Amino acid sequence: MFSFEQTFYVNSQWWRLITPMFIHFSFAHLAFNCLWIYILGEKIEKIDGSFVFFCLVIFSAIFSNSLQFFWSNTSLFGGLSGVIYALIGFCMVNEMDSPYGRYDIPPGLYLFMIIWLVLGFLGIVEMFGFGAVANFAHLGGLISGIMFAVVYKFFPLNRSN
Protein backbone atom coordinates (compact mmCIF):
# COMPACT_ATOMS: atom_id res chain seq x y z
CA MET A 1 0.00 0.00 0.00
CA PHE A 2 0.99 3.57 -0.61
CA SER A 3 0.99 6.16 2.07
CA PHE A 4 -0.54 9.57 1.45
CA GLU A 5 2.81 11.32 1.91
CA GLN A 6 4.72 8.84 -0.24
CA THR A 7 2.25 9.01 -3.11
CA PHE A 8 1.75 12.76 -3.31
CA TYR A 9 4.86 14.35 -1.82
CA VAL A 10 7.75 11.93 -2.33
CA ASN A 11 6.71 10.45 -5.69
CA SER A 12 5.02 13.65 -6.93
CA GLN A 13 2.00 11.76 -8.25
CA TRP A 14 -0.30 14.79 -8.08
CA TRP A 15 -2.38 13.51 -10.97
CA ARG A 16 -3.92 10.97 -8.56
CA LEU A 17 -5.84 13.83 -6.92
CA ILE A 18 -7.90 14.42 -10.09
CA THR A 19 -7.96 11.25 -12.19
CA PRO A 20 -10.35 9.13 -10.08
CA MET A 21 -13.21 11.33 -11.30
CA PHE A 22 -12.61 10.00 -14.84
CA ILE A 23 -12.64 6.32 -13.83
CA HIS A 24 -15.93 4.43 -13.48
CA PHE A 25 -16.30 0.72 -12.82
CA SER A 26 -19.71 0.24 -14.42
CA PHE A 27 -21.80 1.82 -17.13
CA ALA A 28 -24.62 2.47 -14.64
CA HIS A 29 -22.25 4.41 -12.37
CA LEU A 30 -21.02 6.49 -15.31
CA ALA A 31 -24.55 7.14 -16.57
CA PHE A 32 -25.82 8.15 -13.11
CA ASN A 33 -22.90 10.54 -12.58
CA CYS A 34 -23.31 12.06 -16.06
CA LEU A 35 -27.00 12.63 -15.40
CA TRP A 36 -26.22 14.53 -12.18
CA ILE A 37 -23.55 16.60 -13.91
CA TYR A 38 -26.07 17.45 -16.62
CA ILE A 39 -28.80 18.43 -14.14
CA LEU A 40 -26.80 20.20 -11.42
CA GLY A 41 -23.87 21.42 -13.50
CA GLU A 42 -26.14 23.11 -16.01
CA LYS A 43 -27.95 24.98 -13.23
CA ILE A 44 -24.74 26.12 -11.53
CA GLU A 45 -23.15 27.11 -14.82
CA LYS A 46 -26.19 29.09 -15.92
CA ILE A 47 -26.53 31.02 -12.64
CA ASP A 48 -22.97 31.26 -11.34
CA GLY A 49 -20.92 30.89 -14.52
CA SER A 50 -18.58 28.38 -16.14
CA PHE A 51 -15.55 29.49 -14.13
CA VAL A 52 -17.29 28.88 -10.80
CA PHE A 53 -18.48 25.47 -12.00
CA PHE A 54 -14.96 24.55 -13.19
CA CYS A 55 -13.35 25.68 -9.92
CA LEU A 56 -15.94 23.79 -7.88
CA VAL A 57 -15.33 20.59 -9.85
CA ILE A 58 -11.53 20.77 -9.54
CA PHE A 59 -11.57 21.77 -5.85
CA SER A 60 -14.09 19.08 -4.91
CA ALA A 61 -12.30 16.37 -6.92
CA ILE A 62 -9.03 17.10 -5.13
CA PHE A 63 -10.68 17.34 -1.70
CA SER A 64 -12.93 14.27 -2.01
CA ASN A 65 -10.26 12.06 -3.59
CA SER A 66 -7.73 13.08 -0.95
CA LEU A 67 -10.15 12.24 1.84
CA GLN A 68 -11.02 8.87 0.28
CA PHE A 69 -7.34 8.01 -0.20
CA PHE A 70 -6.42 9.16 3.29
CA TRP A 71 -9.14 7.10 5.03
CA SER A 72 -9.05 3.99 2.82
CA ASN A 73 -5.26 4.01 2.16
CA THR A 74 -5.87 2.58 -1.30
CA SER A 75 -5.66 4.21 -4.67
CA LEU A 76 -8.14 1.83 -6.29
CA PHE A 77 -11.32 3.90 -6.40
CA GLY A 78 -13.04 5.97 -9.00
CA GLY A 79 -16.09 7.92 -9.94
CA LEU A 80 -17.45 11.40 -10.05
CA SER A 81 -19.74 10.96 -7.06
CA GLY A 82 -17.59 13.08 -4.75
CA VAL A 83 -17.97 15.95 -7.21
CA ILE A 84 -21.72 15.27 -7.46
CA TYR A 85 -22.02 15.55 -3.69
CA ALA A 86 -20.06 18.81 -3.86
CA LEU A 87 -22.56 20.17 -6.38
CA ILE A 88 -25.37 19.11 -4.05
CA GLY A 89 -23.69 20.81 -1.08
CA PHE A 90 -23.01 23.97 -3.09
CA CYS A 91 -26.61 24.21 -4.31
CA MET A 92 -28.03 23.38 -0.88
CA VAL A 93 -26.13 26.17 0.88
CA ASN A 94 -26.93 28.72 -1.82
CA GLU A 95 -30.63 27.81 -1.87
CA MET A 96 -30.94 27.91 1.91
CA ASP A 97 -29.65 31.48 1.84
CA SER A 98 -31.82 32.57 -1.08
CA PRO A 99 -35.35 33.96 -0.67
CA TYR A 100 -36.35 32.21 -3.90
CA GLY A 101 -35.56 28.85 -5.48
CA ARG A 102 -32.15 29.73 -6.86
CA TYR A 103 -31.60 26.41 -8.64
CA ASP A 104 -35.19 25.09 -8.48
CA ILE A 105 -34.10 21.85 -6.85
CA PRO A 106 -36.78 20.13 -4.75
CA PRO A 107 -35.81 19.96 -1.04
CA GLY A 108 -36.58 16.23 -1.09
CA LEU A 109 -33.63 15.71 -3.42
CA TYR A 110 -31.21 17.04 -0.82
CA LEU A 111 -32.77 14.77 1.79
CA PHE A 112 -32.53 11.77 -0.55
CA MET A 113 -28.84 12.37 -1.21
CA ILE A 114 -28.05 12.74 2.52
CA ILE A 115 -29.94 9.50 3.25
CA TRP A 116 -28.05 7.79 0.40
CA LEU A 117 -24.78 8.96 1.97
CA VAL A 118 -25.77 7.53 5.36
CA LEU A 119 -26.91 4.25 3.77
CA GLY A 120 -23.51 4.01 2.10
CA PHE A 121 -21.69 4.36 5.41
CA LEU A 122 -23.99 1.75 6.98
CA GLY A 123 -23.12 -0.72 4.19
CA ILE A 124 -26.71 -1.00 3.00
CA VAL A 125 -25.94 0.33 -0.51
CA GLU A 126 -23.24 -2.29 -0.99
CA MET A 127 -25.45 -5.00 0.53
CA PHE A 128 -28.06 -4.42 -2.20
CA GLY A 129 -25.53 -5.03 -4.95
CA PHE A 130 -24.44 -1.51 -5.89
CA GLY A 131 -20.80 -2.50 -5.39
CA ALA A 132 -18.16 -0.99 -3.16
CA VAL A 133 -18.84 2.65 -2.40
CA ALA A 134 -16.20 5.34 -1.86
CA ASN A 135 -18.06 6.73 1.14
CA PHE A 136 -15.35 9.13 2.22
CA ALA A 137 -15.20 10.59 -1.29
CA HIS A 138 -18.95 11.23 -1.04
CA LEU A 139 -18.57 12.82 2.38
CA GLY A 140 -15.55 14.81 1.24
CA GLY A 141 -17.50 16.02 -1.76
CA LEU A 142 -20.38 17.22 0.36
CA ILE A 143 -18.03 18.99 2.78
CA SER A 144 -16.04 20.60 -0.05
CA GLY A 145 -19.22 21.80 -1.79
CA ILE A 146 -20.46 23.39 1.43
CA MET A 147 -17.05 24.98 2.07
CA PHE A 148 -16.88 26.28 -1.51
CA ALA A 149 -20.38 27.80 -1.22
CA VAL A 150 -19.53 29.55 2.05
CA VAL A 151 -16.31 31.01 0.63
CA TYR A 152 -18.13 31.93 -2.60
CA LYS A 153 -20.68 33.94 -0.61
CA PHE A 154 -17.93 36.17 0.76
CA PHE A 155 -15.71 36.25 -2.35
CA PRO A 156 -17.90 35.86 -5.45
CA LEU A 157 -15.85 34.86 -8.49
CA ASN A 158 -18.23 35.70 -11.29
CA ARG A 159 -21.56 36.62 -9.80
CA SER A 160 -23.97 38.16 -12.27
CA ASN A 161 -26.88 38.65 -9.84
Burial of residue 31 (CB within 10 Å: 0-12, 13-18, 19+) is exposed
> Residue 92 has what pLDDT?
94
> Residue 60 has what pLDDT?
95
Q: Which of 24, 66, 138, 144 is catalytic?
A: 138
Q: Which of 60, 64, 81, 144 is catalytic?
A: 81
Closest CA to 105 of 39, 152, 18: 39
Q: Are 159 and 141 in contact (CB under 8 A)?
A: no
DSSP 18: T
Active site residue 12: no
What distances in angstroms separate CA 126 from CA 12, 27, 118, 131, 161, one per listed residue? 33, 17, 12, 5, 42
> Residue 75 has what pLDDT?
66
Class of domain 4-154: mainly alpha
> Residue 3 has what pLDDT?
56
Q: How many CB atoms lie within 10 A of CB 76?
A: 11
pLDDT by 10-residue block (mean), the chain, 161 residues: 53 71 80 92 95 96 87 72 95 86 89 92 78 83 96 77 48
Burial of residue 86 (CB within 10 Å: 0-12, 13-18, 19+) is buried
CA–CA gap between residue 85 and residue 146 (Å, rounded): 9
Active site residue 81: yes
Rg (CA), the chain: 16
